[in-house]
A and B are shown apart, each in its own frame.
Chain A
Amino acid sequence: MSTGRKKLARAAAIFAAVALTLTACSSGGDKASAPASSAGGKLPTGQTLSVWTFGATGLEDSMNKWAADTGNKVEFKKSEFDPHHEQLLTALASGAVPDVAVVETSYSSLFKQSAQYFTDLRDFGADSIKSDYLDWRWAQGVADDGRVFGLPTDVGGLAMAYRTDLFTAAGLPTDAPSVEKLWSSWEDFLKVGEEYKAKTGKSFLDSTGVLFQTLYNQSDPKLYSADGKSLVYDTNPQIKHAFEIAARGSSISAKLGAFSPEWNTAMAKGDYAVQLAPAWMLNYIQGQAPETSGKWSVANLPVGGGNWGGSQLTIPKASKNAALAFDMISKVLSPANQLAVFKATGNFPSTPSLYTDPALTDYKSKFFSDAPVGIIYSESAKKLKPVYEGPKERQMMREFGNALGRIDTGDETAAQAWDSALAAVKLEIG
């Protein structure tokens, strides 16, 4: 044999060996998941679960703890909100999926249409824990054919956080009951904001968009009719009202884009006095503006409740470790653990049994001047009703947000912006 041939033969041998190993790996993976799919079987250890989030669930610590307890590992990939969902969708199409992926409620209708790309969690006995959760939050993870593709994380019951030091400086009361007496409608709220701005020269609110989001989340129905069969974004008086209030609010807002670096800076510097805050926002404030500890308090909104946000934890179908992943998500989302997460981060539980539990209702947050956040957000959560959100919710909201942006920059008046928003939405969903 010539050396050339020898080399060729060796290369072929190596190639064959590699190919064999690869097939061995993949079939081994299949085998590992096969027995586990029958619930109650012994779960594997030494596995690494990949988890994709957009960073708002506050569950990372619990997942790491679960991994340490069970002898497994968790790897997180955190992306920004929209890119996260976009990557998940393309990953589902290609099959290169994580073991666990977060799907936020404004995207849940979109993914619901393709629920067959997710593991049906009923296979692992999800039905038995259904009663732990708020019905409508549970339903956001159920497809039309009954397939359960996600377990609910927190609920984003609405309230507002305000800077007590800035309120004092402006001659406003600082205790929550007196603050709540300042207004009984959103119009009153705007009036107080206008007075604040006239007195201090500073902004009252952070963002016109956040004001709109809040009122939008108080609407019932929202952009779709209650049965989800038709669009009402252009005829729903509540959406129009939300838009008008937000448009008026532009003059007292710092006109910042929510979640932008400038927004973070302004929050830490105290450039505005009121932050409309779903429960998870408290977590965000503590993370972004740690030095403002003790300068905030929390009060109820001028009117009504409402939900903003919350997610489902899903297991894509192509995950090799579905049984293990289910074990993890069902444990970190158990009522007991959601209580622990609430205390650590402020993310509010989706398990109603806690809403009467003194461990939650008596909870006061030091960061927010000992505000009774436990009772405020559980009262807010109790008032919540399921509101249909459709598959195109997110892209329609983007156009409303852009229209408010055009009011902020002075490019359009409120009336012009409403018309242009409807035109843009129509073009988008057309």
Chain B
Amino acid sequence: MPSDTSTVTLNGVVGSPRRRRRRASLTPYLYIAPFFLVFGVFGLFPLLYTAFISLWDWNPIGDKTFIGFQNYTELFADPRFWNAAGNTLSIWAISTIPQLIAAIVMAAVLNNALLRAKTAFRMAVLVPNITSVVAIGVIFTQLFGRDYGMINWLLQSVGLDRIDWQAGRLSSQIAVSMMVMWRWTGYNALIYLAAMQSIPSSLYEAAAIDGANKVRQFLSVTIPQLRPTIIFTAIISTIGGLQVFAEPLLFGGQGGTTGGASRQFQTLALFLYEQGFRNFKFGYGSAIAWALFVIIAIATVVNLKLSSRIASE
């Protein structure tokens, strides 16, 4: 009886040696099963199903026609795709590189022995990260508003020209990047801080004896010691940065799905959303999703190669 077997396994009643062996070989799989089940349902299945849909002209409440790789050939000939890919990369560069530099500096400040109220500051830098991304998007969009925005008001009050932040390619991407940076700098700073605290103080003492000042110590001891952590944050930021979605969507307001009138800040994730969910081309949207997946995979490998080369130097 199958129920008998399960009882034996669950209750630990000693059975025949053969059964015991089977139980022993089954147990480790049971331990790791929850991950694979969850991953299978929420990770692998959607991934494969998306690949399946991407081969169809798929109307969720209408006709579904198999069209092979046509979505992909259309995609690679679509200027909007390359525009979105370019925007994604530039928003990633504008947001991630300054962000990681700022995070290291912030971590160094938080790690300073002279700093008072350490815990309060450490908690404070994480607050942007636990704030709802929608709230961030709405508030930053108002700050960057053309007519009634606070940033333009400040610019004007110091005698500079107002900027139509949304209109320009660079200005809109800077505004979007500011939201990303605001949200993630503190988070990365805490990761760097943890890594800094595990650097043995003897290294700093030796450097001090050799006559290195604080800046020199930071550059020659802290940064090299942080290398593995920098690689980790760079990869995580790359994966996140290539999927930027809510910030440009909210920044664009009513025209958010196209990322502005000229698609000047439409990211790949946003292009996917526009095609899949606004224009109801689920097949095309799925093809974009797979293209994005491949781009992220390539970016991660390149990142890993570059970073480990830096680390081994």
Q: Which residue of A lies closest to B259 (CB)?
A: A402
- Chain B contacts for A4, CB-based, 8 A: 10-11
**Contact yes or no, A402 B255, CB < 8 A:** yes
Main secondary structure of the interface of B (DSSP, over half): loop
Q: In chain B between 246 and 274, which residues have their CB closer than 8 angstroms to a CB of chain A?
A: 253-255, 257-258, 260-263
Number of chain B residues close to chain A: CB under 8 A: 31
State whether A409 and B254 are in contact (beta carbons under 8 Å apart), knowing that A266-B147, A402-B261, A402-B262 are contacts in the complex. no
Nearest-neighbor residue (CB-CB) of B148 within chain A: A265
B280 within 8 A of A: yes
Which of these, B10, B60, B62, contacts A8 with CB under 8 Å? Answer: B10
Residue of B with least CB distance to A424: B80
Which residues of B, 173-219, contact A by the 8 Å Cβ criterion?
none
Q: Verify A401–B255 contact, CB threshold 8 A.
A: yes
- Asked whether, in the complex, the Cβ of B167 is within 8 Å of the Cβ of A411, the reply is yes
Q: Could you tell me the distance between the alpha carbons of A82 and B249 in the complex, rounded to whole angstroms?
A: 13
Does B7 have its Cβ within 8 Å of any Cβ on chain A? yes
Pairwise interchain contact A114-B62, C-beta atoms closer than 8 A: yes
Q: Closest residue of chain A to B166, judged by CB?
A: A409
Closest to A403 in B: B261
Q: How distant is the Cα of A5 from the Cα of B3 in the complex, in angstroms?
A: 12
- Contact A395 B261, CB 8 Å, known A257-B253, A265-B148, A411-B167: no
Given the interface contacts A92-B61, A261-B142, does A402 sit within 8 Å of B78 by beta carbon?
no
B112 on interface, CB distance cutoff 8 Å: no
Q: Is B278 on the interface with A (CB-CB < 8 A)?
A: yes
**Chain B residue with Cβ nearest A82:** B278
Determine the distance from Cα of A55 to Cα of B280 in the docked complex, in whole angstroms: 22
Decide if B145 is an interface residue (CB 8 Å cutoff). yes
Q: Is the CB of B11 within 8 A of A2?
A: yes
B-facing mask of A302-328, CB < 8 A → 1, else 0? 000000000000000000000000000
Contact A408 B261, CB 8 Å, known A90-B60, A257-B254, A395-B278: yes
Q: With a CB–CB cut-off of 8 A, which chain B residues contact A359?
A: none
Task: Give the Cβ gap from B210 to chain A, nearest Cβ, in Å.
Answer: 57
Render A378-419 as a binary contact track against B, CB cut-off 8 A, 1 for contact.
000000000000001001001001111110110100000000
CA distance A403 to B56 in the complex (A): 30
Asked whether any CB of chain A lies closer than 8 Å to the CB of B76, the reply is no
Q: How far is the CB of A129 from chain B (nearest CB, A)?
A: 27
Q: Which B31-75 residues have C-beta < 8 A from chain A?
A: 59-62
C-alpha gap A114/B59 in the complex (Å): 10
Known: A256-B147, A262-B145, A405-B260. 14 other contacts (CB 8 A): A90-B277, A92-B61, A113-B62, A260-B254, A395-B278, A395-B279, A398-B257, A398-B258, A401-B255, A402-B255, A405-B255, A409-B164, A409-B261, A411-B262
Pick 21 A–B contacts, CB within 8 A, sort by A.
Answer: A2-B11, A5-B7, A86-B278, A93-B60, A114-B61, A257-B255, A261-B145, A261-B253, A262-B145, A262-B147, A265-B148, A392-B279, A395-B278, A395-B279, A398-B258, A398-B278, A402-B261, A405-B260, A409-B164, A409-B167, A411-B167
Seen from chain B, the residues whose Cβ lies within 8 Å of a Cβ on chain A are 7, 10-11, 59-62, 78-80, 141-142, 145-148, 164, 167, 253-255, 257-258, 260-263, 277-280
